[in-house]
């Protein structure tokens, strides 16, 4: 079969990432409905919040019976990282203002950042293409599959019967672990996960995740200063 070319490696990478990531919206849609949200509320989360990890955290806390405050705090902690992505992307996306700037902030996510920064440092055009194609692509596919998953979840019932409850978590772990390059980062991740698991039976839903975040913050503050710059 002939390979379809989109004109540049950045665009091809972005489209591949968009389709693969967007497909996990099925899991989110089904799990959101199972957690007690209706289809419209589920769609609103994907359209407005639009950061997968935070969305899963929010419905996870709600579904486990946690308070709305704990759900919002947990979701916010996970979403803060997008602000740091903006710092790394600022040299690539400037100058920009008005609606275009607002739209860029909405699609500044893990995938758009990763595809943009994976392009050659000196090729600003390729980096911009990677950012916009991945960001907009994930937005479109994620929201489309969210609707599909929400309707599917409403029709089929418990998503756990079909493995949709585990699919997103497994995919997130598979994406995260290879990026924890230094040994220290893996140790911190393991300790944080252990703390969350240990506290889950004794604390309200959402609080164990916040405790795990505190572990990572303390580890970051206590880390020795790097002798060299951190690579993108």
pLDDT of 227 reads: 44
Distance CA 91, CA 184 (A): 29
Q: Name the token pair of 24.
A: 């996990």
What is the predicted pLDDT for the residue at 115? 92
102 burial type by CB count under 10 A (0-12 exposed, 13-18 middle, 19+ buried): exposed
Which pLDDT tens digit goes with each residue over 42-86? 999 999 999 888 898 898 888 878 888 888 888 888 888 888 899
- pTM: predicted TM-score of the whole model, two decimal places: 0.75
- Establish if 24 belongs to a structural domain: yes
Whether the per-residue pLDDT at 231 is higher than 90: the answer is: no
Instruction: Please check whether residue 149 is in contact with residue 30, taking contact to mean a CB–CB distance below 8 angstroms.
Output: yes
Confidence of residue 197 (pLDDT cuts 50, 70, 90): confident
Containing structural domain, residue 20: 9-178
Whether residues 133 and 192 share a domain: the answer is: no
Best CA proximity match to 139, nearest among 72, 74, 43: 43
Same domain, 111 and 137: yes
Is 154:39 a contact under the CB 8 Å cutoff? yes
Same domain, 18 and 115: yes
Q: Tell me, yes or no, whether 173 and 186 share the same domain.
A: no
Unique residue bearing structure tokens 């418990």: 158
Residues 162 and 185 in one domain: no
- Give how many domains the chain has, as a whole number: 2
In this structure, the answer to whether residues 121 and 203 fall within a common structural domain is: no
> Is 98 inside any structural domain?
yes
Where among 178, 194, 215 does a domain terminate?
178
DSSP state of 2: P
Compute the distance between CA of residue 182 and CA of residue 144 in angstroms, rounded to an integer: 37
The answer, yes or no, to whether residue 4 has pLDDT greater than 60, is no
Q: Is position 49 within any domain?
A: yes
Residues 166 and 65 in one domain: yes
In a domain, 229, yes or no: no
């Amino acid at each position: 079969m002939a390979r379809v070319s989109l004109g540049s490696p950045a665009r091809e990478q972005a489209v591949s990432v968009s389709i693969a990531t967007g497909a996990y919206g099925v899991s989110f849609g089904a799990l959101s409905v199972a957690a007690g949200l209706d289809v419209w509320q589920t769609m609103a989360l994907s359209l407005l919040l639009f950061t997968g990890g935070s969305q899963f955290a929010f419905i996870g806390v709600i579904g486990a019976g946690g308070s709305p405050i704990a759900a919002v705090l947990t979701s916010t902690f996970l979403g803060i990282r997008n602000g740091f992505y903006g710092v790394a992307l600022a040299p690539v996306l400037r100058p920009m203002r008005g609606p275009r700037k607002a739209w860029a902030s909405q699609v500044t996510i893990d995938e758009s950042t990763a595809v943009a920064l994976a392009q050659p440092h000196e090729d600003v055009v390729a980096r911009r293409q990677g950012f916009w194609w991945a960001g907009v692509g994930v937005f479109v596919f994620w929201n489309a599959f969210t609707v599909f998953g929400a309707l599917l979840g409403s029709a089929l019932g418990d998503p756990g019967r079909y493995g949709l409850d585990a699919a997103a978590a497994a995919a997130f772990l598979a994406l995260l672990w290879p990026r924890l390059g230094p040994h220290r980062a893996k140790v911190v991740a393991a300790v944080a996960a252990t703390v969350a698991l240990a506290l889950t039976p004794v604390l309200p839903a959402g609080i164990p995740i916040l405790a795990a975040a505190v572990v990572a913050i303390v580890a970051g503050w206590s880390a020795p200063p790097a002798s060299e710059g951190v690579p993108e």
